[in-house]
Chain A
Amino acid sequence: MRFRYPLPRSSEITPEALYHSRRRFLQGALSLSAGIALAACLPASKRPVPEDETALAPQATGRADEYGDALTPFEAVTHYNNYYEFSTDKQAVAQLARDFRVRPWTVEIGGLVHSPQTFGIEDLLQAFPLEERIYRLRCVEGWSMVIPWLGFPLRLLLEQADPMGSARFVRFVALHDPQQMPGQKNPLFPWPYTEGLRLDEALHDLTILAVGLYGQVLLPQNGAPLRLVVPWKYGFKSIKAIVRIELTEEQPATLWSTVAPQEYGFYANVNPAVSHPRWSQATERRIGESGRRPTLPFNGYAEQVATLYQGMDLSVYY
């Protein structure tokens, strides 16, 4: 199956720009792993923090999304994180996640696939060409950002594992390590964080695995070293710090739909017509703007993805 963009993307980048962005990214990746290798020899208190290691200037090749809305500043993207594994306080996450160990890291692909495999994160960074994708991120809490991700389509990875004909869903599991992720000591959540997609959603070209943003290696607070980005769904679908990807026949349980099934469905498509008991889904607050703006169906990606849901009652499958 092939997917095309009906809209010209503003993130269309010249080969040269792409080359530079990739170079910068790899430099970042190298200095990050070097820093961590070094860190192993240092006393814990002197361990350099990731923020220092990736002190390259944040630089995206695009400036705005296809609607002309400007990128959300790097500082906001990296210091306002809904990441309950660390804290429910979005502005506390960056600090708490500073020492999070992103190397060594492996990602297992298993379940209903012909060739299950385990990737080291370094290999995964090299395996596929990285692209910059400027996506809107719409949080179910009613705020949104525009983020220049670096990553590759999830489809490329799934194709390598060769899904069986019986596979219908993809299940994602995040790291479970309460020592490093203090929020996981909260017994009121069924850790680890799990998420899921229908296989056709997972294979859609808009669905990426991100390893960086703003031309840099992903920082721990943004889901390093590997996270999902599904731009037409509410942010909580885009699971962070992935360690396992599994193809299944049954629709997998997900963390938020387990915690509050009447509020968070499996699909979680951005939909101004399906209300949430708390936050407005009809309107949103773009970070950096005052006031509200209307929320777009499928977060503005309806043209690309609406066909995936033809004939489905989206107020039932919310």
Chain B
Amino acid sequence: MAKVLTRKAVERPAWLLWVHGLGVAPAVLFWIGVLRGMYWINPLQTAIQRSGDAAILLLLASLTCTPLAWVRGLAWVVRWRRPLGLYAFAYALVHVALYVGVDYELNWAWLGAEFREKPYLWFGAGAFLILSGLAVTSLQGIQRRLGRRWKALHRLVYVAALLVLVHLALVVKGDALRLRGEVWKPLLAGMGVGVLLGVRLLRRVRRGLSKHL
């Protein structure tokens, strides 16, 4: 509990503003684009793509909080993790709802055919299921009830990030592994996920070593 106190002491008062600003920014930017008439020709495709982009960006932002909080004086950043993660889920929800509800108009036969044949959807759906589970269990009541299992459960966020990464790599026009085509998004996201997972593994290994020495 000492940690919480120090966190409170150095916390910026405006932190909530920043978090919500970051969370709402993609929607605001999109709306500005809409008002400027930038997407009128194929609005649905743009909306699906931009909501997906926002979801993965905020997911990465949320994952960045933990390693940032290790830095002396930045422990308070850990508070951003939950709201950013919830924003990521909100955009993912919009993303999926647009696809299923607006694009396919709940035509389950057509949707079923798509899901049967397209692996990119399996990875997206897997990630979406995990994010939904995490969003529900981030309610404080449930969080408390789950106790220590909560932490283990929420490690699944790394699985979700990896699944989204595959979803993204499969969804761009090109071949990310052969560095051909329009692949900068999965490359950047891949580096992001790589670094975020890497620093954590590194810390584990270092801690493990120092325990043994």
**CA of A285 to CA of B46, assembled, Å:** 13
The A interface is mostly helix, strand or loop, or mixed, namely loop
> Which residues from chain B contact A282 at a C-beta distance below 8 Å?
110, 113-114
Within the complex, the shortest CB–CB distance from B100 to chain A, in Å, comes to 12
Q: Is A278 touching B182 in the complex (CB atoms < 8 A)?
A: no
Q: Is B41 touching A275 in the complex (CB atoms < 8 A)?
A: no
Given A275-B117, A292-B110, verify A259-B175 contact (CB < 8 Å): yes
Given A80-B42, A275-B117, verify A259-B103 contact (CB < 8 Å): no
A291 contacts the other chain (Cβ, under 8 Å)? yes
> Which residues from chain B contact A88 at a C-beta distance below 8 Å?
182
Interface size range on A against B:
20 to 34
Q: Is B103 touching A91 in the complex (CB atoms < 8 A)?
A: no
B141 contacts the other chain (Cβ, under 8 Å)? no
Given A277-B119, A278-B120, A287-B42, verify A188-B105 contact (CB < 8 Å): no
Contact with B along A275-311 (1 / 0, CB 8 A): 1011010110101001110000000000000000000
Q: Is B110 touching A80 in the complex (CB atoms < 8 A)?
A: no
> Which residues from chain B contact A290 at a C-beta distance below 8 Å?
44, 102
8 Å CB contact of B174 from A90, A91, A143, A259: A259
> Which residues from chain B contact A260 at a C-beta distance below 8 Å?
173-175, 180-181
> Which residues from chain A contact B182 at a C-beta distance below 8 Å?
84, 88, 188
Interface centre among B42, B45, B107, B182 (most CB of A within 10 A): B42
> Which residues from chain A contact B110 at a C-beta distance below 8 Å?
280, 282-283, 292
Q: Is A291 touching B105 in the complex (CB atoms < 8 A)?
A: yes
Q: Is A275 touching B181 in the complex (CB atoms < 8 A)?
A: no
Q: Is B113 touching A143 in the complex (CB atoms < 8 A)?
A: no
Given A277-B170, A278-B120, verify A259-B181 contact (CB < 8 Å): yes
**CA of A278 to CA of B170, assembled, Å:** 7
Contact with A along B168-203 (1 / 0, CB 8 A): 001101110001111100000000000000000000
23 A–B contact pairs at CB < 8 A? Answer: A80-B41, A90-B42, A91-B38, A188-B180, A188-B183, A189-B181, A259-B175, A259-B180, A260-B175, A260-B180, A275-B117, A278-B118, A278-B170, A278-B171, A278-B173, A280-B114, A285-B44, A285-B103, A287-B42, A290-B44, A291-B103, A292-B104, A292-B110
| B contact set with A: CB distance below 8 Å | 38-39, 41-42, 44-45, 102-105, 107, 110, 113-114, 117-120, 170-171, 173-175, 179-183
